[in-house]
Structures are given as structure tokens and as C-alpha cells.
Structure 1
Amino acid sequence: MKEGTVVVAETERLVIRALSAQDVPVLAVALADPSVMRYSLRGVLSEAQTAEFIEWCIGLYRERGYGPWALVEKDSEALAGFCGLSPELIEGTEEVQVGYRLAPQFWGRGLAAEAVAEVLVLGFQQFALPVIAAIVEPEHTASVRVLEKSGFKSFERKRFHGRNVRIYRQWPACAAPASHNGSCDPTGFPAGALESADQVGRSVDMELRSAPFGGAL
């Protein structure tokens, strides 16, 4: 690890650290890959756009203490992608969401779930967040599996920039929202508004708006 690197946390196989301008060339390769950005509202990014994204992340670190962080594989010391927390406007209310992107050579090994699990711990324990959201298109089955492995069980169906998405939420006191049966509902949602992941839910025709590099990335 380079001198001066700000390490946020470690897992069995990953170092989670702050992104920096030095990460632009490597991260730009991943974010220019159509397979990585298939479900991104922004589509593939140029190197200049990747630099803007990293600047936005650094700004979040300064303002909030958190943001999307770099994921570095311990064995290879290679930058695998990013995972972290960022603000998102959901129905006019700012929430904090978890998001991630990994380069294809790091897929299929459980690294995303490992990273998300650690980021949730940081969000709830270090930053005392009351709730963390996750936005995913249901067709993105690999990402749905990652979220559900990480404890996201219940969701709402909504429209996000013209796309059908699931909005998952997780709470520190109710880490598995699938258990919500009316007895544990810290969100104030009407009873039955949350769907468990194994239910077929109703669609809600509601547009959501994202932060500059929030769910849109």
C-alpha cells in the first residue's frame, strides 16, 4: 500500500481505502467496459469522466466522512473497483445508498458481497446512519444476489429515470427487513408497503432523482 493511503477498513481479501487521482487510469478501464456499466444510467465513462467521479468521491469524504471507496485485492494489490456510501434523493428525501462496481476479472468470487457487508458495518457503526438504501434493476440478478446476501431482503418497486427498479433498505436494528410484518417498521411506511424478495410486488409509478454520481453510476 502506498505511503499516505487512507485505509478505511479491511476484510479477509480486500483493503477498503479512499480513492485518489492516482486511481483514474485503472478505474477508467473498468468504467469504460460496457459489461461493467450495463446497468448504469450514465453508460460507459471516459477517463475524464472517471476523474470527475473520483473528485466527487473526494468531496464526499471531506463533507461527510464517507463516499465510494476503492477496493484493493490483498493478494494482487490490484484495484478491483469501488464500493461505498453516497447521498441519493428518493421521493424528494435525501437518503444514503450503498453502491459498487467491480472490474470483470474480479466477478464471481464473492468480493462484492464481502465489500458491501463491511461498508454496511461502517455505515451503521462508524457513521451512525439510521438506514441504508440500495437501488437495483431486477434484471441485474448478480447484484440482487449480492444485496440479498448482505441482508437486504425487502424492497419497494419504483421508477428511476424511466427504469423499473427495486429500492431495498436495511436498518441497524432490523438488519433483515424481510422480517417486517408490521411489528418492525422504522421507516414509517404504510403496513405492507415493503415486499420481501420472494414476493411478486406491485409497481409504483414514481420517478426518483439521483445525485450527480449516485444511483446514476
Structure 2
Amino acid sequence: MTILATARLRLEPVCPAHYEGLRVLNADPAVQRYIAGRPETPEETAAMIARVQGRWQQFGYSWWSFIENDTGELVGAGCIQHLGHDPVNEHEIGWRLLPSRWGRGYATEAARRMAAFAFDDLEAPSLAAICHPENADSAKVMRRLGMRNRGIENWHAQTVAVYDIGADAFAALRT
């Protein structure tokens, strides 16, 4: 399993040792406002960890926990997965952060590193990201990654705004 690093974060594959930090993250109503619309239960967090570990074994990628270098605290999570959890669909990138870390550039920092992994290691031809149409902050991160808004689609039983970027466009931004 691949550990990724940025200037301020260590992205570790989600594992049972991250349960408490993920439980706090996923139980936060502000974090879940545009994702599930309600806080996640402790049982749902435990089930998510087990599900994600299975995806790591199956695909070699899935969800990472964002560990802040300075504090060692779990401050967020993000993923490279397939839209709709179906390998026939394009790769999806996603993230969530504790509200205490919003506005610090962590989402963009982690997303850039995960996108580089998707394009460099997985050789993904493109990446998509989805968000609730009213989630302006997440859409800003998508635009900072160079993603373009391709419109409204239905994914994960929700109507969402979809952004995407191709490998060549992402590579051009890194030069």
C-alpha cells in the first residue's frame, strides 16, 4: 500500500489504527453536510474502513487518511477510486477535512499529490471529481487542480456537479 507525502501531510492508506480519527471526521455534521447529509455512525466508520481495506487489496489504491506532519493528528481523508465504485468508470478523486483545517490549503495540497499518483502511477487518462452543486469550497479546490466543470450528473445516488481533467492538462500545469 502506497504512502504519499506533501510538505505538510502524510497520506496513509486507511487502516483500523485510524478508526478514532476517521470516526471524529465522519461524525462531524459540517464535514458530512454535502456528502451524506448526516453524521456517520461509529459502526458506519468501522464498516467503511473494512470496505476500503478490501479496495486497497483489490486495486492497490483507495482512501488515504491525511496525517498532519506537525501534530500527528488525522485531519482529513481522500481517495482515488472509480466513479460509482465500478472499475469500468473513470477514476474519481475526492477529499474531506476537519473544519478546523479548512481554509489552509490542505485539500488542494493533498489533492494535487493524489492526482499525481493517479496520473503517474496508475496512468489514469483522466480524473473526475464530484461535489454537491452548492459546495462552493470543494468546487474551488477542483478548479485549483485545473479541473473543468463538465455539468450535472447522477453518482452515488445523488445529483452532483462533476469536474474533470485529463492527464495531459494536469501534466501541463506541473511544468
TM-score, with structure 1 as normaliser: 0.72
User: Matched residue of 2:168: which SS?
Assistant: coil
Q: How many residues align?
A: 171
Q: What corresponds to 2:58 in structure 1? A: 63
- The root-mean-square deviation of aligned C-alpha atoms, in Å, is 2.2
Q: Hey, what does 2:141 align to over in structure 1? A: 146
Instruction: Report 1:1-217 matches (<5 A).
Output: 8-41=3-36, 43-89=38-84, 94-160=89-155, 163-175=158-170
Identity of aligned residues (%): 28
Secondary structure of 1:175 counterpart: helix
Deviations 1:9-49, CA, capped at 9 Å, x for gaps: 11110111111101111210111111010011363111111
Aligned partners of 1:142 and 1:128: how far apart in 2? Answer: 28
Label 1:46 to 1:39 Cα distance change in 2 as closer, same or farther (>3 A): same
Distance 2:77 2:156 in 1: 23
Instruction: Name which one, 1 or 2, has greater alpha-carbon Rg.
Output: 1
What residue ranges of structure 1 are gaps of 5+ in the alignment? 1-5, 177-217
Which residue in 2 is equivalent to 1:207? none
Q: Give the 3 Å change call, closer, same or farther, for CA 70–161 of structure 1 in structure 2.
A: closer
Q: Determine the C-alpha separation between the residues in 2 that align with 1:150 and 1:172.
A: 12
8 Å CA contact 2:146, 2:169 repeated in 1: no
Structure having the higher helix fraction is: 2
The alpha-carbon deviation at position 143 of structure 1 amounts to 0.3
What is the deviation of 1:154? 3.2
Measured at CA, do residues 164 and 19 of structure 1 come closer, stay the same or move farther in structure 2, by a change above 3 Å? closer
Superposition deviation, residue 162 in structure 1: 6.5
Q: Which runs of 5+ in 2 are unaligned?
A: none
Which deviates more, 11-20 or 155-164?
155-164
Tell me, what secondary structure is at the counterpart of 1:129?
Answer: coil
Q: CA deviation at 1:106?
A: 1.2
TM-score (norm 2): 0.89
Aligned-partner Cα distance in 2 for 1:162–1:49: 18
Greater than 6 Å deviation, 4+ residue runs: none
